[in-house]
Structure 1
C-alpha cells in the first residue's frame, strides 16, 4: 500500500501543479492587455466622433466671426425700395465713403507688405554677406554648338585673306628658259 499512497501523492502534486499552471495561463489570458482590439475600436470611434464635433464647432465659430466682420464692415442692408431720392443719395454717399476707406486701407497694407518684403530681402543679403555664403545666380542654358558657330563667323568676318598673303617678288620665281634646263639637268 505504500506504493499506492506514493502514487496518489505524486498524482495529487501533479494535479496541484497543473491547476496552478492553468490558473496562471488563465490569468495571463485575462490580463492579456488593457487595450484589447474591441476597446481600441471603441476608443477610435469615440475619438473620431469627438474630433468631428470639435471640427463642426470650429467651423460654426469661424462662420459666426466672418459674419460679424462682414456686418461690421458693410453694415446692415438698407431698404432701397421705399427710400426717397435724397435718402438714396445719402446711402450711396455712405457706401462710397466706406469703399474709399477700404480701398485706401488695402493700398496702405499692400505698400507695407512690399516694403517689408524689400527689407527682408535686404536683411537676407546682409546675413549671407556676413556668413560668407553667396547665393549662386541661376545660369541660362546656352547651346554649346551655337556659341562656337557664332565665334567662327566672327573670326571669319575679321580675317582678311588678302592681307595675310605674303608679297612675292616676281623675279625670284620667274622661270627663265635658259636657267631651267641647267638646274633640271643638275638635279638629275
Structure 2
C-alpha cells in the first residue's frame, strides 16, 4: 500500500512538473510583444502622431496670423472717425499700397532681367 501511494505521489508530481514546464514554455513562446501590447503601442503611436500634427497645424496657423498682422498692420477704427481722420487713413492706405506696388514692380523687373540673362547664356 505504501509503495502504491509513493508511486501515485511520484506520478502526480511528474504530471504537475510536466504541466508547469509546458506553461513556462508557452509563456516563453509569447514573447514580449503580445498582440494586446502591439495594439496598445500602435494606438499610442497614432495618438502621438495626431497630437504632433495638430501642434504643427496650430504653429503654422499662428505664424500665418502673425505674418498677416505684420503685413497689414492694425485695423483702423472707421466708425468713430470724422471726415478728416478718414481722409488721413485712406491717404495712409494709398501710400502703403503705392509703396508695395513699386516694390512689386522692382521685383518683377529684376526677375525678367534675370530670365533674359539666363536665356542669353544658354
**Cα distance, 1:54–1:97 mapped onto 2, change above 3 Å:** same
Mapping of 1:36-185 within 5 angstroms?
Answer: 36-112=34-110, 115=114, 119=118
Tell me the TM-score normalised to structure 2 length. Answer: 0.69
The structure whose RCO (Cα within 8 Å, separation 6+) is larger is 2
Q: Is 1:27–2:24 an aligned residue pair?
A: yes
Residue correspondences, number: 113
Deviations 1:33-72 (A, max 9, x none): 2111111111111111111112111111111111111111
**Cα distance, 1:58–1:112 mapped onto 2, change above 3 Å:** farther
Instruction: Give the structure with higher Rg (CA).
Output: 1
Aligned counterparts of 2:105 and 2:27: Cα–Cα separation in 1:
70
* Structure 2 unaligned spans of 5+: none
When the two chains are superposed, the root-mean-square deviation of aligned CA atoms in Å is 3.4
Aligned counterparts of 1:56 and 1:68: Cα–Cα separation in 2:
18
**Cα distance, 1:45–1:111 mapped onto 2, change above 3 Å:** farther
**Cα distance, 1:37–1:101 mapped onto 2, change above 3 Å:** farther
Deviation at 1:96, TM superposition (A): 1.7
Deviation at 1:108, TM superposition (A): 4.0
**Cα distance, 1:107–1:44 mapped onto 2, change above 3 Å:** farther
Q: Which structure shows the bigger proportion of residues in helix conformation?
A: 2
Aligned counterparts of 1:23 and 1:108: Cα–Cα separation in 2:
85
